[in-house]
Structure 1
């Protein structure tokens, strides 16, 4: 039969049902893993009906098996257990329904689950999802906290009560979701995305109480781990108790040991903060007082110095030094002037004593031969005055003009002895003048 159908030649239902049955039959036998969401075993019935759901998304599958298969299982098969089943799909053409008939069922052990989690942990770590540099700091005092937890759970009560005891004005945006089972992952992811879009929420807490490894498996699901990593808002993971470490703890920005610990680490204690503020205020006030006191002592030390306490004292000292200097300078100048005046008087007296005027006053005269107007030579020898020479004789009160009538060379010893006596009495320069004067006077006397 042709695989094409038209409005004029449609397929009958039986044909379509046959096609579906043939196609499903080609699938053959398969192994499937899932979580038992529903289990219906009626007493005395040969068949058992199971709803098998995916652990990550909200997909389910109808499964049928013989009731004896469940009774012969080594581990009790119950709702919530993760199992691996082997079977073949059957399509019931009469009802148009699909079911999986299984002939073997194996519970997934804890060891296998932990091994899978370890492999997933290594893969996510290799991508850098757990890197410390990806961790974002929490706000000091968040204005609004997003809380994802089970409805009316002890975790919700602990987080809310502890947070409000520490800071009464804290605001919560609470999203109640399933925290275990097949619907936990999609509901937590949806709540996480919703809170992350809310601009008021500054930090998100994902909280759940303790439980078995199977109960905490949703918080190690890869979908949830990647959703936490993609959040722009800081996320705090508070899943289980201290020994429990689901993968959400590793990818979150902060891991809290318990929901109570999460509240303490997200919300500051108002009493402790007020005590810290009071302590800081006291310390700052004490530091300020100490600084003021230290500066005051330093200022007192500086102002107590003479240069500031008695600033005029400096000028007085300088004034006294200047006055003393002036007195010393005046005294030294006066002494110098007096000394020089005395020296001058002595020199003047000597000059007066040794000068020509004094010599003339004692009766000597200076004889000069006048050769012409303005030309006169002192006579020191009779050879300088030939007869007829014009002479000028200087005495103490004037001068006398005379002429040489004649010369006589006699009694020169007296004149010669008189000259050294005069020279010994006077200085060398002035002695020469006195000697000339004496010679002239004696010569003049002889000439007369």
Structure 2
């Protein structure tokens, strides 16, 4: 006991020092807050040194109030770079050496936060992500809206009330998420993925009402910014109050100052489209009426001209038909007279011609009969010629048909002689 007391007294003479590092653990347990800070090398996630710190709950509350009331407020949380004033001491009952937190330097953390924010903004700008979602075309009539906000919050009520008060039938598809604290990033990312699967959604709105300024630091998340910048449809943000602007607002397709302003902007887009539609409809109606009037006038003029032309054509056709009828009657008499005369001539011709045709045919028949008789074998034999037949009675026309021993029959005018070929 005396030994530990002497050590504590010796440590009491040691002056307090300022140390900085990243908070890797923060546990509030009863009246004591346990914090660990670590120092890291660039590019290495393994700490090169770690210090465990303690702080009474009352003292920690004072430190928290100090950071939250700074010109640019922030919350003491894990993964935050801080600069604490600490003093070494020993816990006598266990003989454990420990360090107690006395104060915090907000300027150091604010500087680190600003540098981090600037570095994220620079990376996003270099990759063209600040304008990527803004370049997506806004739907002309965004009636189906995906909404990411806290459940049963004033932001949800303000947003939906403003839409309900409009003359348009909006359909809101809410996905509730945590809008403050360490789970903000993961919760909103999950909500974005859920809404991505709904093909009917025209735009997505991320809204949050006012509150502690420290809560808005969660919307500087680089992962959130990248998700919104690369989102396939326009994303609207309405986070906090008019003076609040997070990195998420920088990459959003449309930045609005409050949830109500976000809903108002959507109504304005719908109203603009509706007004253009009404104006276009009026222009079409006026143009249609003018076109119909012109067409009616043109049709009336064309009808009148057509009526005049048809009447003139009918009269001309009547005159032509009357002339044709008169000519036809006159020509028919001439044609009938000529045809009757031709028929009479043909009748007489048939009488005379028939006899001539029969006489000519008879003469031709007699000539043919004379030729036939001239080539009759009997008449040829009678002139002194002979007719030689083989044993089968066929004509023998040349010697090549015969061989030795064949029997021949030769017909003469006055009889037949048989002979044998040798």
1:65 to 2:60 alignment: no
1:80 to 2:50 alignment: no
Q: Is the 1:81–1:107 contact (alpha carbons within 8 Å) kept by the matching residues of 2? A: no
Q: How does 1:189-200 map to 2 (within 5 A)?
A: 189-200=189-200
SS at match of 1:152: coil
Query: Distance between the aligned counterparts of 1:37 and 1:177, measured in 2?
Result: 24
Look up the match of 1:120.
120
Q: How does 1:324-335 map to 2 (within 5 A)?
A: none
CA displacement 1:312-337 (0-9 Å, x = unmatched)? 669999xxxxxxxxxxxxxxxxxxxx
Q: Is the 1:137–1:253 contact (alpha carbons within 8 Å) kept by the matching residues of 2? A: no
SS at match of 1:76: helix
SS at match of 2:20: strand
Q: How does 1:47-446 map to 2 (within 5 A)?
A: 48-50=32-34, 63-65=53-55, 76=66, 80-81=75-76, 84-86=82-84, 102=101, 105-108=104-107, 110=110, 113-132=113-132, 135-142=135-142, 144-166=144-166, 169-211=169-211, 213-266=213-266, 280-301=280-301, 309=308
Q: Is the 2:27–2:35 contact (alpha carbons within 8 Å) kept by the matching residues of 1? A: yes
Q: Is the 1:35–1:81 contact (alpha carbons within 8 Å) kept by the matching residues of 2? A: no
SS at match of 2:165: helix
SS at match of 1:180: coil
CA, structure 1 residues 102+140, in 2 after alignment: closer, same or farther (shift >3 Å)?
same
CA, structure 1 residues 144+81, in 2 after alignment: closer, same or farther (shift >3 Å)?
same
Look up the match of 1:373.
none
CA displacement 1:69-96 (0-9 Å, x = unmatched)? 7699697267934661457999x9x99x
Q: How does 1:14-25 map to 2 (within 5 A)?
A: none
CA displacement 1:264-320 (0-9 Å, x = unmatched)? 344578888767655544442332111111222334455666x87356669999xxx
Shift of 1:161: 1.8
Unaligned runs of 5+ in 2: 1-17, 39-50, 69-73, 317-422
SS at match of 1:160: helix
Q: Is the 1:256–1:262 contact (alpha carbons within 8 Å) kept by the matching residues of 2? A: yes
Unaligned runs of 5+ in 1: 1-28, 43-47, 55-60, 318-448
CA, structure 1 residues 137+277, in 2 after alignment: closer, same or farther (shift >3 Å)?
closer
CA displacement 1:201-233 (0-9 Å, x = unmatched)? 443211012356433211111121122234334
Look up the match of 2:43.
none
Q: Is the 1:143–1:200 contact (alpha carbons within 8 Å) kept by the matching residues of 2? A: no
| Larger gyration radius, structure 1 or structure 2 | 1
Shift of 1:38: 6.3
Point out the more displaced range, 167-176 or 186-195: 167-176
Q: Is the 1:37–1:80 contact (alpha carbons within 8 Å) kept by the matching residues of 2? A: no
CA, structure 1 residues 278+131, in 2 after alignment: closer, same or farther (shift >3 Å)?
closer
Q: Is the 1:178–1:184 contact (alpha carbons within 8 Å) kept by the matching residues of 2? A: yes
CA, structure 1 residues 230+63, in 2 after alignment: closer, same or farther (shift >3 Å)?
farther
**TM-score, length-scaled by structure 2:** 0.50
Query: Distance between the aligned counterparts of 1:113 and 1:161, measured in 2?
Result: 36
Query: Distance between the aligned counterparts of 1:67 and 1:283, measured in 2?
Result: 72
Shift of 1:174: 2.0
Q: Is the 2:64–2:75 contact (alpha carbons within 8 Å) kept by the matching residues of 1? A: no
Size of the alignment, in residue pairs?
Answer: 278
Query: Distance between the aligned counterparts of 2:162 and 2:20, measured in 1?
Result: 48
Query: Distance between the aligned counterparts of 1:227 and 1:278, measured in 2?
Result: 37
SS at match of 1:215: helix
Query: Distance between the aligned counterparts of 2:164 and 2:61, measured in 1?
Result: 51
